[in-house]
Chain A
Amino acid sequence: MCGIAGLIYHSPALYSSLGSTLLALIQPLESRGPDSCGIALYSDQITAGQVKLLLHGTEATPWQQVHPWLEQAVRIVQRRDVPQGLQLTVDLSHSTFDPVRFKQELHQQFPSLHVVSIGQSLEIYKATGSVESLSRKYGLSSFSGSHGIGHTRMATESVVDTHHSHPFTSSYDLSLVHNGQVSNYYKLRFQLERMGAVFETQNDSEALAHYIHYQLLQGKSLEAALHQLLQDVDGTYTFLVATGDKVALVRDKFAAKPAVIYETENQVAIVSEYRALLTLPGFDPAATIREPGAGEVNIWSVTPSTMPTRTLVSQ
């Protein structure tokens, strides 16, 4: 059992409440997952050609040595200290930056350091412990942005630590939160590793993120990638995957894990359980609440005036 939540704003007037609202949505879901929690937040605030990098270390991380190493590895435009980590804005316009190689070299040099997220708009914050402590640790309640996904974890398949908690990422601006189990995880992992994916944890949910990234690299649309996933991934899953401008909700063909969808003109909220919606500012109790069907893929675009695409798996 885990809790998942997603929030998509269609109106920029709501952007300033993204952090506080997403945290409020996952807080009641702590009862579904008390081990760890995390959120992936999307804000479009940086210049073209630049990316945001979030690094997470431990108390043992030798930051004095990390800084000079980073200076020679990438062109740093901005640097901000975060608890046990570092947020960098990096200029990639005049360099050939390979995120996979960068991650590997960084991890080789400083084994205690992990790249939590890379992207133009994505920032991932996750930790063991409560939602309240996560929010306080990183000051997330004032985070402004267009969309985000969140998770509360009850570990069933792998160890409880920050890196095994959700959201997972596998590429620029791609994040994923999952409730369920992937039963053909080892087979999937073996296949994806042969295609070049570099796994960083033993968590089965990470395989979903790599799988989607791989399908997108083949030139598939997000929708096509997710339909292919329904065919290739066994197990129970209700998961949310977010990109720079979309959020998708996927439910396995047995509808084994819950989700409810609340949709108004200005925003969409997806949560594991109805009661979590009651924390949503301006929640209309009379509104129609919908559940995703078995084998259903829902995709919402962040830009206004687009209707969600809702498609069923071909039987």
Chain B
Amino acid sequence: MTQGTTQQTRSEPLPETVIDCSELTTRDINQALRDHAAAGTEAVTLLNPAGRHNLAVGLASPMRIAIQGPVGYYCGGLSDGITLDIEGNCGWSVGENLMSGQICVKGSASANAAATARGGTICVLGNAGPRAGISLKGATLIVRGNAGPSSAFMMQQGRLIICGDAGENLGDSIYDGEIFVGGRVASLGADARFEPMTDSDWTMLTSTLAPFDIAAQEYDFKKIVCAKELYHFKAREFSKWKDAY
């Protein structure tokens, strides 16, 4: 393919970078976002999201998106390389299976924030609901407030940073990855254990939280990792399995 044909298929950036959701179907909105990304538009603003599900889902090209208001379920999910700001609360599973990029929720997030996210950073400036970072597979999830019960359930890779308190059963059945909690931990789940903080942990927290104007030093961070006692089933440890969540 010559450079000429590439330029032809790649049309001029679309002039309109504000999309009003109120008159469009969700499919139309996501198609418009894809069209903008393909045309090289750098930033798009979505107005009147009205708590709608599946906004900015499956976008595979870098683009800045700002959503002015609360969104529903799966916002930004399955995306790769986007920079998404949500000016409001969001429903279940924000940034589910994010591959790379950054999602910042200015309000609170409901259950399953960053579920199975493989890469990138998801930051919730308010509180997160139950099962935050469930099955996290490599992304970084930051919660400035508190996170609900069963957060980091079956986490496999990546980082969950909770500046506030963590609910019951934190890190239950965790495989790997790191959890940091600045506040109180209600209880640890099966096979999760505390580990002493190191200097490199503090350095990492300082640099990871700084872009969101969060000062790591203001929190009493504790580190939780996998105890790796349930990697292999041993009959004499049956009680540990039985008590697993």
Contacts and interface: CB of A to CB of B under 8 A. Distances in A.
Nearest to B73: A273
Contacts, number: 40
A255 B72 contact: no
Contact of A255 (B50, B51, B91, B148): B148
Interface in A267-286: 273-275, 277-278, 285
Given A258-B111, A273-B72, A273-B91, A278 B50 contact: yes
Nearest to B130: A255
B149 interface: yes
A45 interface: no
Interface in B197-227: none
Given A273-B91, A274-B51, A278-B51, A255 B70 contact: no
Interface residues of B, number: 19
B51 A275 contact: yes
A292 to B, nearest CB: 10
Nearest to B51: A275
The dominant DSSP class at the B interface is: loop
A274 B129 contact: no
A293 interface: yes
Contacts of B50: 275, 278
Nearest to B69: A285
B89 interface: yes
Contacts of B130: 254-255, 294
Interface string B108-119: 001100000000
A70 interface: no
Given A255-B130, A293-B148, A294-B130, A274 B70 contact: yes
Instruction: Sort A-B residue pairs by CB-CB distance and give the 5 closest, nearest first.
Output: A275-B51, A255-B130, A274-B51, A294-B149, A278-B50
Interface of A: 254-255, 258, 273-275, 277-278, 285, 289, 291, 293-294, 315
